[in-house]
């Protein structure tokens, strides 16, 4: 079996490669790893979508696992097409009708779309350019690939279940940093809303299992989520703050205070318009960044998983501990409370 993995040094790709190599039924010599910036000769360097595919990627592939993507929420539609849609089109050009394509998408393409997104009507009701482009990628894969197709949809991704390890701190780690730094003066959202997370090894297990299984006769969608057993926003914030304070107490550092919750509508209609004129440029940027998490961490309805995430609370705690161990200066820093910017 000849398998190609794109984005092999990314958050999901790194874990998928480890899973494939650990499977006794799969010969590691048949695995080809692709990254935009290959750190060593064992990887194939390819700036997907911006240059022709390297000659060594020619020939028949039994499976192509496409994990490469830009997850930035601040992309414009044209940037999102260049970052995610065009690369998928280039990857699909390597597949034939016998190739099983395993495409990593996001669970949020299947969630409720907003009436008005944060960037106007640019993204057809999707929350941001990343989410919008992932929906476009799913459509592209279904329309242009005539062979077997599996789409894997994870939620927000944190570190491994056992030790919190992750290739890169992004996404929900922004919230952890904001809590300990004092940038999260309040938590905007519904405390009882669903906050879906998954450890990266659960995602990799779904992807690797799909790659090694018999190709599906019709396109298959795997949704990784906690469903009704997922964390609520209040639990997510409580676990994060409690874990950070246990770490800080161990080092003799003053605990952080858990910020209060403010409903999204109240924040957007009243608090933000009044406070915005007093925010420093840095605080304003932080508010905009954290605002993007509102609809992700306080969903009214959970996803319906095909692969359920168990024990998300301990998963989050382990992720926070690993982040703190790797970022001790941030984890033990003195919070910088918000102050009014006098003019």
- Between CA 342 and CA 257 the distance in angstroms is 25
Cα distances from 263 to residues 140, 186, 190, in angstroms, run: 37, 10, 6
Angle at which helix 200-212 crosses helix 11-22, to 10 degrees, equals 50
pLDDT in tens, 195-246: 999 999 999 999 999 999 999 999 999 999 999 999 999 999 999 999 999 9
Helix H or strand E segment including 128? none
**pTM beyond 0.85, yes or no:** yes
Which tokens sit at 305?
């998983």
- pLDDT value for 339: 60
Task: Name the residue among 207, 244, 242 with its Cα closest to residue 224.
Answer: 207
- Contact status, residue 127 vs residue 296, Cβ threshold 8 Å: yes
Confidence (pLDDT) at 148 = 98
pLDDT the model gives residue 282: 66
Strands 261-262 and 197-199: unpaired
State which residues of the chain have pLDDT below 50.
113-120, 343
Under CATH, what is the fold of the domain 3-153? Answer: Rossmann fold (3.40.50)
The CB density around residue 30, as the number of other CB atoms within 10 Å, is 13
Q: Where are the domains of the chain?
A: 3-153, 164-196+228-300+311-343
pLDDT per residue over 319-330, tens digit each? 999 999 999 999
Q: Which two tokens stand for residue 59?
A: 């020939």
Token pair 């997850």 is found at 71
Token digits for 135?
């929906």
């Amino acid at each position: 079996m000849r398998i190609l993995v794109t984005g092999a040094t990314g958050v999901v790709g790194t874990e998928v490669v480890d899973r494939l190599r650990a499977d006794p039924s799969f010969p590691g010599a048949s695995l080809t790893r692709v990254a935009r910036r290959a750190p060593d000769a064992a990887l194939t360097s390819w700036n997907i979508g911006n240059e022709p595919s390297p000659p060594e990627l020619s020939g028949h592939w039994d499976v192509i696992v496409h994990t490469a993507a830009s997850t930035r929420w601040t992309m414009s539609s044209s940037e999102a097409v260049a970052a995610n849609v065009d690369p998928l089109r280039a990857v699909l050009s390597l597949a034939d009708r016998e190739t099983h394509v395993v495409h990593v998408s996001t669970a949020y393409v299947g969630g409720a779309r907003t009436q008005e997104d944060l960037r106007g009507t640019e993204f057809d009701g999707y929350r941001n350019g990343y989410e919008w482009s992932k929906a476009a990628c799913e459509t592209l894969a279904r329309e242009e690939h005539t062979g077997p197709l599996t789409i894997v949809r994870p939620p927000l991704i944190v570190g491994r279940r056992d030790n919190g390890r992750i290739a890169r701190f992004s996404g929900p780690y922004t919230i952890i940093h904001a809590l300990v730094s004092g940038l999260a003066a309040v938590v905007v959202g519904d405390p009882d809303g669903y906050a879906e997370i998954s450890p990266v090894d659960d995602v990799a297990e779904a992807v690797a299992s799909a790659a090694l299984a018999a190709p599906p006769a019709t396109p298959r969608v795997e949704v990784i989520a906690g469903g009704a057993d997922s964390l609520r926003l209040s639990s997510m914030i409580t676990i994060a703050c409690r874990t950070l304070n246990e770490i800080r107490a161990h080092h003799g550092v003053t605990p952080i205070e858990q910020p209060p919750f403010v409903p999204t509508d109240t924040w957007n209609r009243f608090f933000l318009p009044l406070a915005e004129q007093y925010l420093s440029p840095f605080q304003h940027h932080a508010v905009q960044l954290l605002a993007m998490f509102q609809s992700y961490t306080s969903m009214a309805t959970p996803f319906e998983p095909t692969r359920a995430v168990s024990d998300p609370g301990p998963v989050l705690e382990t992720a926070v501990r690993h982040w703190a161990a790797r970022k001790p200066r941030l984890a033990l820093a003195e919070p910088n409370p918000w102050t009014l910017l006098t003019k």
